Amino acid sequence: MTTSGYATERDTTEGKVFTVTGGDWDTVTGGIDPLSNEKIVVNMGPQHPSTHGVLRLVLELEGETVTEVRPVIGYLHTGIEKNLEYRNWVQGTTFVTRMDYLAPLFNEAGYCFAVEKLLGITDDIPERAQTIRVMFMELNRISSHLVWLATTGMELGAISMMLYGFREREYILDIFEETSGLRMNHAYFRPGGLAQDVPDTALAKIRDFLVYLPKKLKEYEAMLSGQVIWQERTQGVAVLDVTGCLSLGITGPVLRAAGLPWDLRKTMPYAGYEKYEFDVPTAQTADVWGRYLVRLAEIRESLKIVEQCLDRLRPGAVMVKDKKIAWPAQLAIGVDGMGNSLEHVAKIMGQSMESLIHHFKLVTEGFRVPPGQVYVGIEHPRGELGVHAVSDGGTHPYRVHYRDPSFVNLQAIPAMAEGALLADVIAGGASLDPVMGGCDR
């Protein structure tokens, strides 16, 4: 057996095999004498209900005080970014939507904005398509924050909040399912627009939701905000001020809870966000309590944006007119929620032979994107989601890399947890709202 600088390796009949172990566990434990040193080293995760997925934390403890934390990631790696290099530009949306699985529409939006920028068609996207994109991103922001409220409530002892948060999220997932055919991983946003229009039944559900949720938010606040245990577990816990956030690249609700109103929808608008009236909520406490207040306020602001989207929605196309990018017939989902409906197939087959050939080439081979590279940043529920896309002029990406906020924000765990109690690691980690699907791409 030989050893490389990265991992142990051995030769097999199938080729060279590398054995990778996470973190530096052996080094940490080997450096502590259990007889003369009262420090203990424990693993929290990678399968632990309070790590928000397969995150592993190597903790050094003196009693219940945390002296050092090492986050270890990589247990959920899917190779999505690499797989994009072997799929055409439209197929890419089916991959990226699976990264941060609580905010799939944001993954799709960032990717589509980047591809459209490379194509030079950003200004050609139909207004109806952009309005629906904004509306669905804000609904997705609400559903993501509801999951955060539910899971954090459970981790800090508010079991009822877990049930209520997921109950309200189901309402939004029903809307997504009625529109795209799927509750998650929709591939609904496509380069050039949308896979299909929003049905009137889904719009009616959205209007009902705008009336329904504000009442529930008041109930959540009545249950949590005045609760002494909730206050004790969140106020003054896991403090990270503006300086710390900026030093570590932390964005999103964590940064805004420290008092800096940085929101890309306001500071660097995209998708027409400059046309909408909404505020950027902030807090001054820079702790778990402040992040709780900011996220609740953000849900209300998202509801305001969704209402404006409904008022702005006008009849029109949901895909660019360029037939070298848009499919000849609008996608229609079959009755089983999968595949194409018979009407859709008949419409394609009934057109000219040239159109059928073009459709076949467009779907199987894909369109070509001019060579170049772009970076697009959008305001994800957890912070800035950046997409760096590179094209070599072919029908599939040369490289796509995501700057995922969960990955960047995890750097804050040692800064927030070291010197505090073990129980505060739970609260502080939860307040970052990490999703490991976004970290391990």
The CATH number that applies at residue 226 is 1.10.645.10
Chain-centroid distance of CA 333 in Å reads 25
Report the chain's mean pLDDT, rounded to a whole number: 85
Average pLDDT over residues 81-85: 90
Residues 37-48 have pLDDT tens digits of 677 888 887 877
Q: Considering the chain, what percentage of its residues have pLDDT values greater than 70?
A: 88
Average pLDDT over residues 5-14: 70
**Taking a C-beta distance cutoff of 8 angstroms, is the pair 187, 94 a contact?**
yes
Task: List Cβ<8 Å contacts ≥24 apart for 130-134.
Answer: 130/271, 130/272, 131/272, 131/309, 131/312, 131/313, 132/194, 132/197, 132/198, 132/309, 132/313, 132/318, 133/109, 133/189, 133/194, 133/271, 134/271, 134/272, 134/273, 134/276, 134/305, 134/309
In a domain, 274, yes or no: yes
Is the pLDDT at 19 greater than 80? The verdict is no
Query: Range of 90's domain?
Result: 80-325+367-439
Q: Domains in the chain: how many in total?
A: 1
In a domain, 57, yes or no: no
Residues 114-165 have pLDDT tens digits of 999 999 988 889 999 999 999 999 999 999 999 999 999 888 888 889 999 8
How does residue 303 score in pLDDT terms, banded at 50, 70 and 90?
very high
Per-position DSSP letters for 328-344, written without gaps between them: SS---B-TTSSSB-HHH
Residue 77: per-residue pLDDT: 82
Residue 322: per-residue pLDDT: 80
Q: What dihedral do alpha carbons 6, 10, 13, 16 form, nearest 10°? A: 20
In a domain, 36, yes or no: no
**Taking a C-beta distance cutoff of 8 angstroms, is the pair 307, 300 a contact?**
no
In a domain, 13, yes or no: no
In a domain, 4, yes or no: no
Q: Residue 235 is encoded by which pair of tokens?
A: 């106020």
In a domain, 434, yes or no: yes
Q: Residue 400 is encoded by which pair of tokens?
A: 């796509």
Is the pLDDT at 339 greater than 80? The verdict is no
Residue 419: per-residue pLDDT: 85
In a domain, 7, yes or no: no
Q: Count CB neighbours of 3 within 10 A.
A: 8
In a domain, 148, yes or no: yes
**Taking a C-beta distance cutoff of 8 angstroms, is the pair 217, 225 a contact?**
no
Is the pLDDT at 371 greater than 90? The verdict is yes
